[in-house]
Structure 1
Amino acid sequence: MQDAPASRQQQLEQAERVGPAFSVDGMLAARNGTRRAIAEIAARVRPGMVEEDAVEMAKGVLRDAGLALSWHPTRVRFGRNTVKPMRLASEPGIVLGENDIFFIDIAPRMDAFEGDGGASFVVGKHHEYERCAADAEALFHELRGIWTRDGLTGRQLYEHGKQWALARGWVLNFDLPGHRVSDFPHAAIHTGSLAEFDGAPLPVRWILEIHLRHPSEAFGAFFEDMLLGDSFFG
């Protein structure tokens, strides 16, 4: 006799399971180490750098911080590479201009715990790049705030995000639709996206990803962080 199909509630609970080493304190420590490393990497990026050299620099920063293990590739993307989905390789040899945009995407492991974070930065002056970078972070907090107040599902959050982005002249990239984090490896527990999750997400379980692109020009901006309440953000 076949087992009965899992109920919707059982499916949601299974998607938010954790491994045997999971702890909230461990996950938050990995998150905090990730944010510190992003700031350190960004401070070392300069116009004239080649993207591949920036990636190697970022790996060095992570090693020096005791975060040599990563569960996905370390990425620093410059200029027109900022529109590419993460699953696609960067165009090689891109040099950061004097007035340019770049983003960082890192996923260090701290002991058993997965960190994951990203942010965008502008060098020099460029109004549209600055607006795009600011809007990527603003949309992250817009969706996080709605989740905190209204308990929307992951799917509803990303649908709201799509309309928010369009109203400001951007395209929200659904190739980066948010995902689980846990004690490593979360992929052994759940590989589905936040944008397809039909429950109200639990805190310290999900990464909310925002990737905005200009609808016709070759630049975009990225921001991601753990889905957490207001007290974790200054």
Structure 2
Amino acid sequence: MSSFTTHAAECVGPTFSVDGMLLARQKTRQAITNIANRITPGMLEEDAVAMAKQVQVDAGMALSWHPTRVRFGRNTIKPMKIKSEPGVILQNNDIFFIDIAPRVNTWEGDGGASFVVGENADYLRCTKDAESLFHDVRKIWSTQHLTGQALYEYAELTAKKMGWELNFDLPGHRISDFPHATKYSGSLADLEITPSAMRWILEIHLRDPQQRFGAFYEDMLLDDKDYT
């Protein structure tokens, strides 16, 4: 798929750079790993958020265009725009996810992933399925060239087959040189064209049908050759 387009929903600014966007992605994914490695049972969610912010700052990234989020346990079912219940502590057998959107120079990063402490089989399956569904949808995008709308229709159907609910409050969005919102603010799930590489973030938030927990995974839509 081409990385270049003239569609209004996919325009970029003068500082857009393929290498810059890939650098922002690489640093974002590394920060997620570094944050996850510092989270342990007994930690307060608010303290984990503060730590996550500091990890990004220490790596030379700016905290830019959406809040840094770390969500523990029952807070993992909440839509991102809803604040966490305060005072939640990570337990010995628990689930959590990280959602960060740092800026590297003028380029936006955005990434999220879920993690499990302990051996809860349902948590482990939900976490694995969120990442697996992300890659499944990405493969469909790469091979069948579906519209953004069709990609999320596929994601919803597949999530149900897996035994989960797909949270449509997280419908994917643009990414670009900062700020992408001045170029396009609509969602990937509403996009009526085939999304181009390096323009969109695909978000997958799976929730337990009984609303006990959820798992989240997001990353940039990229061709296989760039997905390292």
Task: Give the TM-score taking structure 1 as reference length.
Answer: 0.94
Q: Does 1:58 align with 2:49?
A: no
Larger radius of gyration between Structure 1 and Structure 2: 1
- Say if 1:59 and 1:68, in contact at 8 Å, map to a contact too: no
Amino acid at match of 2:16: F
Counterpart CA distance in 2 for 1:136 and 1:23 is 29
Q: Identity across aligned pairs (percent)?
A: 64
Q: How does 1:149-168 map to 2 (within 5 A)?
A: 149-168=143-162
Q: CA deviation at 1:229?
A: 1.4
Give the aligned residue type for 1:33: K
1:173: how far off?
0.4
Partner amino acid, structure 2, of 1:121 = F
Q: Distance in 1 between matches of 2:29 and 2:52?
A: 13
**Which residue does 1:136 correspond to in 2?**
130
Structure 2 counterpart of 1:201: 195
Query: Is residue 187 of structure 1 aligned with residue 209 of structure 2?
Result: no
One-letter code aligned to 2:49: V
1:158 maps to a residue whose letter is: Y
Please show how residues 37-186 of structure 1 align to structure 2 within 5 Å.
Answer: 37-186=31-180
Q: Give 1:67 deviation, angstroms.
A: 1.0
Shift of 1:16: 0.3
Cα distance in 2 between the residues matched to 1:233 and 1:98: 33
TM superposition score normalised by structure 2: 0.96
Structure 2 residue runs of 5 or longer lacking an equivalent are: 1-5
Which letter maps to 1:26? G
Q: How many angstroms does 1:232 deviate by? A: 3.2
What one-letter code is carried by the residue in structure 2 that aligns with 1:28?
L
| Contact 2:53 2:63 (8 Å CA) reproduced | no
Amino acid at match of 1:137: E
Which letter maps to 2:37?
A
Q: For 1:27-78, what per-residue CA distance to the aligned partner results, in whole angstroms no more than 9, with x for missing partners?
A: 1110110000000000000000000000011011111100133211000000
- Count of aligned residue pairs for this structure pair: 223
> What is the SS of the residue equivalent to 2:96?
strand
CA RMSD of aligned residues (A): 0.9
SS in 2 for 1:52: helix
Q: Tell me, which stretches of 5 or more residues in structure 1 are unaligned?
A: 1-11
Once the 2 structures are TM-superposed, how far is the Cα of residue 231 of structure 1 from its aligned partner? 2.6
Please report how far the alpha carbon of residue 20 of structure 1 lies from its aligned counterpart in structure 2 after TM superposition. Answer: 1.2
Question: Partner amino acid for 2:168?
Answer: F
Shift >3 Å, 4+ stretches: none
Does the Cα contact within 8 Å between 1:178 and 1:208 map onto a contact in 2? yes
Paired residue secondary structure (1:222): strand
